[in-house]
Amino acid sequence: MRNLETAGIENINCREEADLIIIGAGPSGLFCAIKAAGSIHNKNKHYSRIIVLEKKGTPGRKLLISGSSRCNITHSGDIQEFLSHYGEHSRFMRPALLSFTNRDLVSFFAEKGLAMIEEESGKIFPATGRSRNVLDILVRECEAHKISLHSDQKVLSLSKKEHGFEDRFGHWIEHGFEAITEDGFYLSPLVVIATGGCSYPATGSSGDGYRFARALGHNIIEPGPALTPAYIKDYPFRELAGISIPDVQVSLQHSETTRTNCGDILFTHEGLSGPAILDFSRHIMPGDTIRLSIIPPERRPELEAWFLKRTEEMGGKGLKTLLEDLPPAFCRSGQSIPGRLIAKILEISGIPAELKGAQLSRHLRITLFNNLTGLPLEVARLGGWDIAMVSRGGVDLGEVNSRTMESRLVKGLYLVGEVLDVDGDTGGYNLQAAFSTGALAAGSIAKKLA
């Protein structure tokens, strides 16, 4: 009772036992419960007691706002191609993704009456365009499988029972867990931490899972915001806010390592967003310099040759007009550079817009080409937890069995979803990871409970 008193719990007689406790009613937790219950009940006539503890008043708060409330649930394409969208952790994700694929996820919801549509980009959304329909199915499936969903149950601590306990059938459980809430305590031989990371803390993802895992002996890779904008020091593109440039190369150098990424860039009022930046943000730190290549660096010799020839032929034209005639083929996207962006790059390069092509000095010409093929921008800060779509960092993957999602350190402890040190690119990869890791853990759990 000492732990209960320390936690300030008034109703210390409130004790509930379960065969499985899942902490967190987001997609990974709910799906883990559903798949575990389904597997067990298909093999046995009895119902195992599964309890899902949710700190908020209702489940799935973060799921409801995902994809601007449309719920970009997954991405199309071969599941093998998915592996490249999880940074350095693709190897860890392989068993989960192969055991429950994007096609499996689409089929699951189709069987429950919710069709999906695929956009030209490959993103997959509910045909209704409403994330609420996804959550409704998950909650309905929990009810169908007699899963107990306990809302308003903030878990204060999670610990391993040192001396075991007697379960609801009178059997002695040698290894088990105690989850203490403000209303009492829950006992179970198996527990799943599915609390999410730290992004969008108002939805309930406030880092609780890191604390629980650390208390049970796990190392936590320092969490940070991911899939978030980069705010730029002395930002020069404020008046271009809202303009998107397709297929731009972004480069970042740390020590002797250079990383590159390609994708759309969105200029905002304070910095850069769009898939190329959001996907890259897991690697960016304040103080880093990123380089935007409006024109790929490897095309620079052709750019210089074209420009010199053009100024010989039409040297009396203004530089902005000359550059607006740049062949779209110079850009990765095959599209022309917007005139407003050309004017801004000239300004950044210290070149008067009215200057004639023939008047451009060699020094300024080199500066212009440098900025077109690798404009340096210093990152002041990254978007915080309130706007970051996911978290980077989390439970050290070396301490988790990638084939079961069970802890290598604590028997009976499972970790799924964003609490792990895994973050995917934008486009449905993180929700797929949540469903896939939840399903994989459920398979292992079902074998133990069968």
Give yes or no for residue 98 having a pLDDT over 70. yes
CATH of the domain at 177: 3.50.50.60
Closest CA to 360 of 327, 325, 316, 303: 316
Interatomic CA distance for residues 293 and 332, integer angstroms:
10
In this structure, are 373 and 397 located in the same domain?
no
Q: Average model confidence (pLDDT) for the chain?
A: 92
pLDDT in tens, 173-198: 667 899 999 888 999 999 999 999 99
Interatomic CA distance for residues 380 and 287, integer angstroms:
6
Domains: count for the chain: 2
In this structure, are 173 and 245 located in the same domain?
no
Q: Which residues pair with 290 in a beta bridge?
A: 252, 377
CB-neighbour burial class of residue 254 (10 A; exposed 0-12, middle 13-18, buried 19+): exposed
CB 4 within 8 A of CB 34: no
Domain that holds residue 183: 2-224+388-449
Residues 6+ apart with CB under 8 A from 42: none
Last residue of a domain, one of 359, 383, 407: 383
In this structure, are 163 and 295 located in the same domain?
no
pLDDT in tens, 115-155: 999 999 999 999 999 999 999 999 999 999 999 999 999 99
In this structure, are 290 and 243 located in the same domain?
yes
Interatomic CA distance for residues 234 and 379, integer angstroms:
9
pLDDT in tens, 256-312: 788 999 999 999 999 999 999 999 999 999 999 999 999 999 999 999 999 999 988
Q: According to the model, what pLDDT value does residue 6 have?
A: 36
Q: Which pLDDT band, with edges at 50, 70 and 90, does 163 fall under?
A: low
In this structure, are 68 and 149 located in the same domain?
yes
Give yes or no for residue 11 having a pLDDT over 90. no
pTM: 0.91
In this structure, are 260 and 179 located in the same domain?
no
In this structure, are 157 and 238 located in the same domain?
no
Handedness of CA 53, 46, 41, 140 (dihedral sign): negative
Interatomic CA distance for residues 386 and 205, integer angstroms:
10
In this structure, are 260 and 371 located in the same domain?
yes
Last residue of a domain, one of 363, 383, 403: 383
Interatomic CA distance for residues 201 and 222, integer angstroms:
17
Cα dist. 61→33, 54, 98, 205, 285 in Å? Answer: 17, 10, 28, 9, 29
Give the H or E element holding residue 289: strand 289-293
In this structure, are 133 and 201 located in the same domain?
yes
Last residue of a domain, one of 351, 383, 415: 383
Rounded (to 5) percent helix, strand, coil in the chain: 40, 25, 35
In this structure, are 82 and 107 located in the same domain?
yes
Half-sphere exposure of 398 (CA within 13 A, CB side): 3
Segment among 298-302, 322-326, 404-408 with least mean pLDDT: 322-326
CA angle 413–63–439, rounded 5-degree value: 40
In this structure, are 49 and 194 located in the same domain?
yes
CB-neighbour burial class of residue 174 (10 A; exposed 0-12, middle 13-18, buried 19+): exposed
In this structure, are 275 and 258 located in the same domain?
yes
Q: According to the model, what pLDDT value does residue 175 have?
A: 75
pLDDT in tens, 238-259: 999 999 999 999 999 877 788 9
